[in-house]
């Protein structure tokens, strides 16, 4: 067993946090190496040090025995190291081709960018990873999945031998995920070494050869994936055993009807949606990506001016396309995309948490600071947000911790009907186990909650009943007692026995 890539006593401090502390382990050449740990454990930081985005302040990295210390992404690239980022990494207003060739734009004799060469080069890079994307498209117009594919094309196209993939699958559809897995296997087949960060345990076990667990910036273990198992990894990650309880709201009788949607349609997105929510119940909304789930939530919340049909809260009809009316009717929406819709990165955890709750915290135009602080602290504690203090700017938090604050923001607002889109995306297993009881508690307090999730076990464990959407229509409802992955998948895919979409 030859050590190819070695981390020796790596340390990295940010103001108020020791993100990595004395981390040492090694990765073999050509391996797909899993990196796992709770939100804020230091996974992205380690990847960024390797990719030249951050400098470590202790320790060293060795590649084939030689010490390397890339001081910039460009230097890392020259060493053959690239990273596919958890967050958006490209300029959204440039084309795919321009982004792919950004460091090295081809120029003609007059010094102008040579469009034809640019396009041809981009096409070759995209083809190398089997990406069918027109090079002239703007990055901003691509789905997250396609943008990630472009990032992979950029890594492979610049001759990377080592690629760090930071939660590459977290916003992909089932089909895109399958495609990603195929690509990862192919890259590994070509001898490329992969560092693969993910919170999805099944995925790591299906794809990776070896695994490293980090906890709170410390190295916990490294070993062959065949010699460990998911339960053990979870315990190593969170330092305790995970116990899931049956939600208490399931044992109670739901109360009055809170939300009634009738004939809700949006051209090109969904049509004829009828549903009702009662106080104290959590209802799931399942479906494949593209089924229209998020669009439906947004339309209920008044974000879709094109929508037609009726949305009633406690019997009162809401005007179409008015978020203000929705807020006044005590409706809340936790959006799926925290960066684009949920959070203000330049504000602190406290400010972000209280943003939506401000009406309730304000008297005569003054914000009640002490109440604001204790509210923010309460949710930060409950959701185990890892930040030095609640005054820390959101932009400095790890991806999963940002997601927790996005959730806290809406939980802190006292609403009667809560629409939640993918509440646990990018969140570690330990934090998931905190988010479920919190939603349960809100339901027990009498709120009506509608949850969209791509993780079927999450819906099955949490919901009184699960509505299933396919191709923009509601196609069925499965009560808690009959919910299983198989029964839901059948409805979602609209076939008798759809093969499992997870790793094969």
Ligand X SMILES: Nc1ncnc2c1ncn2[C@@H]1O[C@H](COP(=O)(O)OP(=O)(O)OP(=O)(O)O)[C@@H](O)[C@H]1O
Of 42, 399, 430, 461, the residue at the interface with Mg ion (CB under 5 A) is 399
d(CA 275, CA 186): 44
- 47 near Mg ion (CB under 5 A): no
- 247 near Mg ion (CB under 5 A): no
Exposed/middle/buried for residue 339 (C-beta within 10 Å: 0-12, 13-18, 19+): middle
Instruction: Indicate the residue among 79 and 213 with the shorter CB distance to ligand X.
Output: 213
Under DSSP, is residue 168 helix (H, G, I), strand (E, B) or coil?
Answer: coil
d(CA 282, CA 443): 7
Q: How far is CA 369 from CA 243, 350, 355, 394, in A?
A: 36, 10, 12, 19
**Binding residues for ligand X, how many (CB under 6 A)?**
21
Q: Which residue is nearest to ligand X (CB)?
A: 400
Nearest 5°: CA angle at 436, between 343 and 481? 135
Cα dihedral across residues 144, 146, 147, 153: positive or negative: positive
Residue list 380-419, contact with ligand X (CB under 6 A): 386-387, 396-401
CB of 40 to Mg ion, least distance (A): 8
Q: Contacts by 172-177 with C-beta closer than 8 Å and gap 24+?
A: 172/144, 172/145, 172/148, 172/289, 173/145, 173/288, 173/289, 173/290, 174/288, 174/289, 174/501, 174/502, 175/289, 175/501, 176/145, 176/289, 177/203, 177/501, 177/502
Piece in contact with Mg ion (CB under 5 A), picked from 42-50, 62-70, 114-122, 360-368: 42-50
Piece in contact with ligand X (CB under 6 A), picked from 34-42, 62-70, 259-267, 315-323: 34-42
Of 25, 45, 150, 291, the residue at the interface with ligand X (CB under 6 A) is 45
- 17 near ligand X (CB under 6 A): yes
**Which x/- pattern over 369-398 shows residues binding Mg ion (rule: CB under 5 A)?**
-----------------------------x
Q: Give the sheet arrangement for strand 316-317, strand by strand.
A: 270-278, 257-266, 308-313, 316-317
d(CA 376, CA 411): 10
* 40, interface contact from Mg ion, ligand X, none, CB < 5-8 Å by kind: ligand X
CB of 388 to ligand X, least distance (A): 8
- 254 near ligand X (CB under 6 A): no
Instruction: Indicate the residue among 19 and 264 with the shorter CB distance to ligand X.
Output: 19
Piece in contact with ligand X (CB under 6 A), picked from 35-43, 218-226, 282-290, 444-452: 35-43
Instruction: Indicate the residue among 166 and 304 with the shorter CB distance to ligand X.
Output: 166
Of 14, 57, 102, 175, the residue at the interface with ligand X (CB under 6 A) is 14
- The region, left, alpha or beta by phi > 0 then psi within -120 to 50, assigned to residue 59 is left
**Which x/- pattern over 75-104 shows residues binding ligand X (rule: CB under 6 A)?**
-----------x------------------
CB of 396 to ligand X, least distance (A): 3
d(CA 71, CA 51): 9
**Binding residues for Mg ion, how many (CB under 5 A)?**
3
- 269 near ligand X (CB under 6 A): no
Nearest 5°: CA angle at 443, between 440 and 444? 85
Of 35, 44, 148, 351, the residue at the interface with Mg ion (CB under 5 A) is 44
Report which secondary-structure segment, H or E, holds 177: helix 174-189
Binding region for Mg ion (CB under 5 A): 44, 398-399
Footprint of ligand X (CB under 6 A): 14, 17, 19, 37, 39-45, 86, 386-387, 396-401, 428
């Amino acid at each position: 067993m030859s050590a190819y890539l070695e981390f020796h006593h790596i340390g990295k401090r940010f103001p108020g946090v020791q993100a990595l502390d004395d981390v040492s382990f090694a990765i073999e050449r050509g391996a797909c190496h899993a990196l796992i740990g709770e939100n804020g454990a230091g996974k992205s930081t380690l990847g960024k040090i390797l990719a030249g985005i951050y400098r470590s302040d202790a320790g060293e990295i060795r590649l084939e025995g030689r010490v390397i210390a890339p001081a910039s992404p460009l230097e890392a690239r020259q060493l053959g190291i690239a990273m596919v980022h958890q967050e958006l990494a490209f300029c959204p207003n440039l084309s795919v081709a321009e982004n792919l060739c950004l460091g090295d734009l081809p120029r003609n004799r007059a010094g102008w960018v040579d469009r034809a060469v640019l396009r041809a080069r981009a096409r070759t890079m995209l083809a190398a990873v089997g990406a069918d994307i027109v090079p002239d498209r703007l990055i901003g117009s691509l789905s997250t999945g396609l943008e990630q594919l472009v990032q992979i094309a950029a890594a492979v196209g610049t001759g990377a031998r080592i690629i760090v993939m930071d939660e590459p699958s977290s916003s992909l559809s089932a089909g895109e995920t399958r495609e990603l897995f195929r690509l990862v296997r192919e890259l590994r087949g070509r001898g490329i070494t992969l560092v693969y960060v993910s919170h999805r345990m099944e995925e790591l076990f299906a794809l990776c050869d070896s695994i490293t667990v980090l906890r709170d910036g410390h190295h916990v273990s490294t070993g062959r994936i065949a010699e460990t198992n998911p339960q053990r990894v979870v315990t190593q990650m969170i330092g305790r055993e995970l116990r899931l309880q049956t939600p208490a709201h399931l044992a109670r009788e739901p109360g009055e009807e809170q939300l009634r949607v009738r004939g809700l349609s949006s051209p090109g997105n969904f049509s004829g949606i009828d549903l009702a929510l009662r106080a104290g119940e959590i209802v799931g909304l399942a479906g494949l990506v593209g089924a229209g789930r998020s669009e439906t939530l947004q339309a209920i919340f008044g974000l879709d001016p094109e929508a037609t049909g009726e949305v009633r809260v406690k019997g009162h009809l809401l005007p179409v396309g008015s978020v203000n009316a929705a807020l006044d009717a005590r409706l809340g929406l936790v959006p799926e995309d925290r960066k684009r819709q949920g959070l203000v990165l330049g504000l602190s955890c406290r400010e972000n948490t209280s943003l939506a709750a401000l009406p309730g915290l304000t008297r005569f135009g003054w914000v009640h600071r002490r109440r604001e602080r204790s509210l923010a602290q309460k949710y930060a504690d409950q959701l185990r947000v890892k930040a030095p203090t609640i005054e820390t700017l959101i932009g400095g938090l790890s991806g999963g911790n940002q997601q927790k604050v996005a959730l806290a923001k809406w939980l802190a607002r006292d609403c009667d009907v809560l629409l939640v889109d993918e509440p646990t995306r990018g969140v570690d297993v330990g934090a998931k186990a905190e988010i479920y009881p919190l939603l349960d508690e809100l339901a027990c307090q009498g709120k009506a909650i509608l949850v969209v999730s791509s993780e079927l076990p999450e819906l099955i464990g949490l919901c009184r009943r699960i509505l299933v959407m396919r191709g923009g229509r509601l196609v069925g409802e499965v009560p808690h007692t009959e919910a299983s992955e198989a029964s839901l998948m059948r409805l979602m895919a609209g076939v008798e026995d759809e093969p499992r979409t997870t790793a094969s």
